[in-house]
Amino acid sequence: MDSALIDFLKNDYPAHFGLTWDDTTMQIRREQRPKVKFEIRDGQLQIVQYAGHGVSVITNHSAMDVEIVDFEHYVDIFKGTNAGMGRKCDFIINPIAGYDFIVFNELTESESRYIKPFTYPTTGEEKEGKLAYAKRQLEISIEKFYSINNFLDSYTKKVGLFSCRLTDTKPNQTMSKSVRAFRKPQKIFSNIRAHEPLPHGFVFEQRIYDNEYKIC
């Protein structure tokens, strides 16, 4: 039996764009995990990675089995149609049974200086940073659902999670001495909860690897 999310993705989403889901030619990339701590990474053959090799670290202390859906891959199934247009977050994590929580997860790997707004020293070009970009990815993904119906309102806990693995530090450490000497100091929060909510009652959370996000 499919989860409520899978049912939505196979029926409501394509039907909204005048399309029909075909199990013989279409496949939703997903993996299931029981009560356990796991790491995920995009762009790999497997979604769940060995410890130390992921970008997003998730802990599920509930008694529920969870499902990790590759949302980016799903939207790309419809390339060339209105259903396949627009930006999307990497993964959606939800219980296989029930509506206790749903987590939209955007992942990135980056040097710490690119998380917040920054300026290229050679060109002077100003960039918004990975954090702001990720929040927009999450917002757009959430709005994709609400443009169809209020299905997501069924979930008790709704989270937009930004997971980042810094490439210039080791887990649980701040920037190295050489990096700090070369750049202006920049505080990177390992665990934050934004004061401003995301659309439709979603709460924004951020985790810097290898800090875990606890589902329940």
pLDDT tens digit sequence for 50-73: 999 999 999 998 888 999 999 999
> What pLDDT does residue 182 have?
39
How many whole angstroms from its chain centre is CA 127? 21
**3-state DSSP assignment of residue 49:** strand
Task: Classify the phi-psi angles of 31: left when phi > 0, otherwise alpha if psi is within -120 to 50, otherwise beta.
Answer: beta
CA distances 195 to 152, 200, 203, Å, are 21, 15, 9
Residue pLDDT, tens place only, 98-148: 999 999 999 999 988 888 876 767 777 777 788 999 999 999 999 999 999
Residue pLDDT, tens place only, 166-203: 998 766 655 444 444 434 434 455 555 555 579 999 99
Residue pLDDT, tens place only, 145-160: 999 999 999 999 999 9
Q: Residue 73 is encoded by which pair of tokens?
A: 């891959």
Q: Residue 49 is encoded by which pair of tokens?
A: 């990675």
Whether this prediction's pTM lies above 0.85 is answered by yes
List, in sequence order, the alpha helices (H) in 38-168: 71-76, 130-146
* Number of residues assigned to the chain: 216
Report the range of poorest mean pLDDT among 5-9, 48-52, 85-89, 196-200: 196-200
> What pLDDT does residue 190 have?
54
Residue among 58, 162, 170, 175 at smallest CA distance from 108: 162
Q: How far apart are CA 41 and CA 209, in angstroms?
A: 12
Query: Which is more confident, 113 or 24?
Result: 24
Query: Which is more confident, 191 or 6?
Result: 6
Residue 155 neighbours by CB distance under 10 Å: 20
Query: What one-letter code names the amino acid at 59?
Result: T
Strand 56-59, strand 66-70: pairing:
unpaired
List, in sequence order, the alpha helices (H) in the chain: 4-7, 13-16, 71-76, 130-146, 177-182
> What pLDDT does residue 158 have?
96
> What pLDDT does residue 192 have?
59
Q: How large a percentage of the chain has pLDDT more than 70?
A: 87
Report the pLDDT averaged over residues 84-90. Answer: 95
pLDDT at 3 over 60: yes
Query: Residue 195 carries which DSSP code?
Result: S
Residue among 175, 178, 166, 157 at smallest CA distance from 211: 166
> What pLDDT does residue 126 have?
76
> What pLDDT does residue 19 have?
97
Contact (CB, 8 A) for 66 and 32: yes
Q: Provide Rg for the chain, Cα atoms.
A: 18
> What pLDDT does residue 176 have?
46
